Amino acid sequence: MIVLGIESSCDETAAAIVNDQRQILGECVLTQLEHKVYGGVVPEIAARCHLEHIDEILEETFKRANLKPQDIDAIAASSGPGLIGGVVVGVMAGKALALALNKPFIAINHLEGHALAARLTSDVKYPYLLLLVSGGHCQILIVKGVGEFERLGTTIDDAAGEAFDKVAKMLSLGYPGGPMIEKMAALGDENRFVLPRPLQNSHDCNLSFSGLKTAVRKIIESYAPDDNIEHAILRKQDTADICASFQKAATESLVYKLQKAIVIFKTKYPQGKDLVVSGGVAANTYLRNRLQQLADTEGLIFSAPPIRFCTDNGVMIAWAGMERALKGMYNGLDFKPRPRWPLDADAPKAAGAGGVKA
Ligand code: KG4
Ligand code: ZN
């Protein structure tokens, strides 16, 4: 079985082809640089860029895989949640190929793409505990199977990646902020600034980053003669120390709530062995190291996708498509892209319930 995956829900136009032997036959990612000057993704510009580049990305992916469109068995496209203009471009490209080739179409929840990515590269078995941390989402879930998610906690305000991006913006480090914060943090003293660990007193697994972000803002303001962060006079070392202290606080907030989630996971699923992190923030080595330590302490096996498959890519969509295709979970060409699509909401229909089969 060979599946093509298409990703276009944010600022990466990407495609990949994988087979059921877990081999990546070809892949291609274009990260849109057009947004850098705006300090964040501009939806209209993103949609236009996806439209301009989707054909060449698909062509290049087939070329790298040394395959022809007729060689694939199914087409999967990231169909939400995300910026709807971009999602529509990828879904339309996927449906057009499916129609022209008479192959089945699979609508992938972008978050499911992140959630299952580690199963392509590591021997992760259902059920597993997942920390999903991206630019738009921050959730702790139990992944029981394809399309079967139990959410234990979520952020009540900002996503983890959003917090990294906003702190980076306050420090004029550019977009996306996560990689820049990580780079600066490596040069800094993580114990210099005392920052809050939000929601530590709540008994649930929910997370919050807005208080942490505000605390960072106050520190930066204290370096400005008029309390305006744009006028803050920071030495490189001050910036590095802020980044390191923030990265530590954000990571410890995640670890703290994961500890609570592990208790629930072990009680409900004693057979579960794996702790997985995924999503763009999972590219952060400091976080990965802390999660490895946590898993060691808790007797769990820690897995994360290789760093390049943490941020948005076509491989994770192709692999989620493969997992669905192997179960015959296809969608009709009337599937409507969903700008909002919670992971634990209704799963796409299985074959036989309106699905198109080759
Ligand atoms: O999964 P992703 O590529 O897109 C979404 O689905 O949102 O995640 C992007 C997010 C951005 O907020 C970016 O700052 C963050 O992932 N990120 C990182 C790192 N690399 C990317 N955050 C912390 N450390 C990193 N190394
Ligand atoms: Zn993503």
Please report where in the chains the tokens 């983890």 appear, as a residue: 160
Instruction: Say how many Å lie between the CA of residue 277 and the centre of ligand 1.
Output: 12
Fill in the DSSP letter of residue 155.
Answer: B
With contact defined as beta carbons under 8 Å apart, do 321 and 112 qualify?
no
pLDDT at site 40: 86
pLDDT at site 349: 44
Fill in the DSSP letter of residue 18.
Answer: E
Alpha carbons within 13 A on the beta-carbon side of 68: 2
Atom of ligand 1 nearest to the CA of 285: 26
| Total number of residues shown for the chain | 358
Torsion angle, CA of 118/294/161/111, rounded to 10 degrees? 30
Residue among 41, 83, 134 to mutate when testing ligand 1 (max atoms within 8 A of CB): 134
Alpha carbons within 13 A on the beta-carbon side of 16: 29
Divide the 358 residues of the chain into consecutive groups of 10 and give the mean pLDDT of each group: 98 97 98 88 95 98 98 98 97 98 98 98 98 96 97 97 96 95 98 96 95 97 94 97 98 98 98 98 98 98 97 98 98 97 66 34
Q: How is the chain split among helix, strand and coil, in percent rounded to 5? A: 45, 20, 40
pLDDT at site 357: 31
With contact defined as beta carbons under 8 Å apart, do 29 and 307 qualify?
no
Starting from the CA of residue 305, give the closest ligand: 1
Instruction: Say how many Å lie between the CA of residue 345 and the centre of ligand 1.
Output: 24
pLDDT at site 291: 98
With contact defined as beta carbons under 8 Å apart, do 129 and 274 qualify?
yes
Instruction: Say how many Å lie between the CA of residue 101 and the centre of ligand 1.
Output: 35
Starting from the CA of residue 176, give the closest ligand: 1
Instruction: Say how many Å lie between the CA of residue 127 and the centre of ligand 1.
Output: 25
Residue among 132, 281, 310 to mutate when testing ligand 1 (max atoms within 8 A of CB): 281
**Atom 16, ligand 1: residue with shortest CA distance:** 280
Is the pTM above the cut of 0.85?
A: yes
